[in-house]
Amino acid sequence: MTVRVAVVGAGVSGLTGAYDLRRLLGDETRIDVFCADEAPGGILASATVGGRSLDVGAEAFIVRRPEARDLVIELGLGGDIVAPGALRPAVWSGGALHHLPSPALMGIPATPAALGGLVDDAQRRIVASEEDRPLEWTPGADVAVGDLVADRFGEVVVARAVDPMLGGVYSARARDLGLREAIPALAAALDAGAPSLTAAVGDVLSRPTGTGPVFGALRGGYRMLVDALVDAARADLHVGAVVRGVHRVGARYDLDVAGHDGADGLTGSGATGYGATGYDATGYDATGYDAVLVAVPVWTAGSLLGSAAPDAGAAFSGVDAAGSAVVAFAVDGETPQHSGVLVASDAADLSIKAITFSSRKWPHLAGAGGRSVLRASFGRLGKPVVDTDDDLVAAATADLRTVFGAAGLAAPDVVEAAVQRWPTGLPHYRPGHLAAMAAGVASLPAGIAVAGSGYRGVGVPACIGTARDAAATLAAHVNALT
Ligand SMILES: Cc1cc2nc3c(=O)[nH]c(=O)nc-3n(C[C@H](O)[C@H](O)[C@H](O)COP(=O)(O)OP(=O)(O)OC[C@H]3O[C@@H](n4cnc5c(N)ncnc54)[C@H](O)[C@@H]3O)c2cc1C
């Protein structure tokens, strides 16, 4: 009998999983990939502004971690990895642009001087005296990053140094993020007996970090990776196919699948250019799978797995989502000499959370003829983006004018703008999240595995890591059956 495997979700996690399942199980295996969207890629998406294509979800990956780098090289795209230029982001606070705290660990300063002009002398003295105050730390404990830093260095340091850094990665404030989740090396340094936060930060920063750039991107954007994965997976890709449940039937699994708008029997509209098939719920057999990889956002995985894996389903359903929106711009005229701007969470004068001056940050996106591309982003956990697209563009344009003015530049001449919303973009890594997810994963029945941003980190490399591990687990399960 033909081995049949289902992959639910066609973001980087699902596509990596499908590719690895193909590699590990061979050409005879039937692999169905179900994708609720009209095209694969999930958060790896791009928009065209001013004639230039720009990533409007993820734009980069950590190249010092192996997962994304190795996969990109394996797929023959190693020559397309590009490095950022030398400019760094600035922090917006008090109506001005400041240097990013340095030396610092995710914005947590190693010394009072690292904060530069972000804080006043009184706050600097609080930071300087931190080592003299006893620190109570229970090894293995998890606390909110914001609570720890506020207690040791003060709320202002959290708002102006730590929130801007963590907000860029997690779309959440430091007080909502677990230390073990967001900065595990710092938690480990405290577990190992660092007597103060200053000592723990110093300890982590003193370790070797590798050489070369920390981040990389693909010359043609993340679309290159999506296309390469779709090609290499050689799976049956069903777009506009919403999976509502995974049910165990004996040793196999059935999927409950509906058309795009959730009405049974509707046909998905189908994406072109990927060899994808629009899903027709009336004529398709989505039963009897030997293994299922669930690579949808973690809370959706929770609802899909309620019947086949109730404990995991309950754990995953409990995770909430941080939404965001990205406005991509093409502008004429000079942009500030920074790779971007991270906005302090106590700055009431801007509504954006961050700007990336993409043409400054990435030499391969450098503007020709004075035209540049950039992205402005909105939204944090607990602060959903509710404005209309026109309002977002207007608010971002006003904020750009303010920031450009502070940098001594004329207001940008906007050529074109495009809005991309991520209403449930990132999972919330609250204290205890990693342990809860690990317990959920450990309770999954044989033949089901999960992958994605909810389990071991939100970045693309972490997603790829979960997908490759999940594919290996499922391939071993299938091989043991046959
Ligand atoms: C604005 C933004 C910027 C980011 N920037 C970076 C960055 O620069 N670097 C980095 O490393 N990370 C970044 N991230 C994080 C990273 O992009 C994501 O964590 C990662 O892309 C998630 O991939 P995924 O495949 O797990 O999920 P997704 O990309 O969310 O894909 C989920 C897939 O599941 C499908 N799906 C959902 N529900 C169903 C269902 N019921 N049935 C069938 N299919 C379903 C969707 O159609 C989609 O195909 C960013 C995230 C955001 C929101």
**Do 260 and 276 meet the contact criterion of CB atoms below 8 Å apart?**
no
Please, what is the Cα angle at 431 between 119 and 136, to 5 degrees?
Answer: 65
| The one-letter amino acid at 234 | R
Please report the atom of ligand 1 found closest to the CA of residue 326. 1
Residue 259 confidence (pLDDT): 64
From 236, 460, 469, the mutation candidate for ligand 1 (largest count of ligand atoms within 8 A of CB) is 460
- Partners of 46 in beta bridges: 55
Ligand 1 atom 50, closest CA: 58
Residues 6+ apart with CB under 8 A from 294: 8, 9, 246, 301, 304, 305, 448, 449, 450, 451
**How far, in Å, is the centroid of ligand 1 from the Cα of 131?**
41
Residues 6+ apart with CB under 8 A from 102: 114
Integer Cα distance of 37 and 44 in angstroms: 12
- Distance in Å, CA 42 to ligand 1 centroid: 5
What confidence score (pLDDT) does residue 261 get? 44
Cα 233 versus chain centre, distance: 23
Nearest CA to ligand 1 atom 37: 296
Distance 293 CA to ligand 1 centre (A): 15
* pLDDT, tens digit (0-9, with 9 covering 90-100), for 31-53: 999 999 999 999 999 999 999 99
Contacts (Cβ under 8 Å, ≥6 apart) of 179: 142, 143, 144, 145, 148, 186, 187, 190, 431
Residue nearest (by alpha carbon) to ligand 1 atom 49 = 10
- The residue contributing the CA closest to ligand 1 atom 5 is 58
pLDDT at position 284: 77
CA–centroid distance, residue 137 to ligand 1 (Å): 35
Q: Output the six-digit token pair for 55.
A: 């990533």
Q: Are 346 and 118 in contact (CB under 8 A)?
A: no
User: If you search the block for the tokens 């996690």, which residue do you land on?
Assistant: 13
What pLDDT, on a 0 to 100 scale, did the predictor assign at position 367? 75
Q: Provide the β-strand partners of residue 35.
A: 239
Cα(12) to centroid of ligand 1, in Å? Answer: 7
How many other CB atoms are there within 10 angstroms of residue 23's CB atom?
14
Q: Which residue lies with its CA nearest to atom 27 of ligand 1?
A: 11
pLDDT for 270 equals 36
Residues lining ligand 1, judged by CB closer than 6 Å? 8-14, 34-37, 42-44, 57-61, 241-243, 295-297, 300, 324, 326, 422, 425-426, 452-453, 458-460, 463
Nearest Cα residue to 381 out of 346, 349, 353: 353
Read off the pTM.
0.95
pLDDT per residue rounded down to tens, the chain (482 residues): 899 999 999 999 999 999 999 999 999 999 999 999 999 999 999 999 999 999 999 999 999 999 999 999 999 999 999 999 999 999 999 999 999 999 999 999 999 999 999 999 999 999 999 999 999 999 999 999 999 999 999 999 999 999 999 998 999 999 999 999 999 999 999 999 999 999 999 999 999 888 888 999 999 999 999 999 999 999 999 998 999 999 999 999 999 998 644 444 333 333 334 666 777 777 778 999 999 999 999 999 999 999 999 999 999 999 999 999 999 999 998 899 999 999 999 999 999 999 999 999 999 999 777 899 999 999 989 888 989 999 999 999 999 999 999 999 999 999 999 999 999 889 999 999 999 999 999 999 999 999 999 999 999 999 999 999 999 999 999 999 97
* Residues ≥6 apart with Cβ < 8 Å to 382: 172, 176, 322
The residue nearest atom 35 of ligand 1, judged by CA position, is 9
The Å distance, Cα 200 to ligand 1 centre, comes to: 33
Average pLDDT of the chain to the nearest whole number: 93
422 Cα: distance to centroid of ligand 1 (angstroms):
9
Question: Cα separation of 199 and 191, whole Å?
Answer: 12
The percent of the chain in helix, strand and coil, each rounded to the nearest 5, is 35, 25, 40
> What one-character DSSP code corresponds to residue 113?
G
The single residue listed with the structure tokens 């956990």 is 381
Q: Point out the ligand 1 atom lying closest to the alpha carbon of residue 35.
A: 44
Closest ligand 1 atom, residue 34 Cα:
43
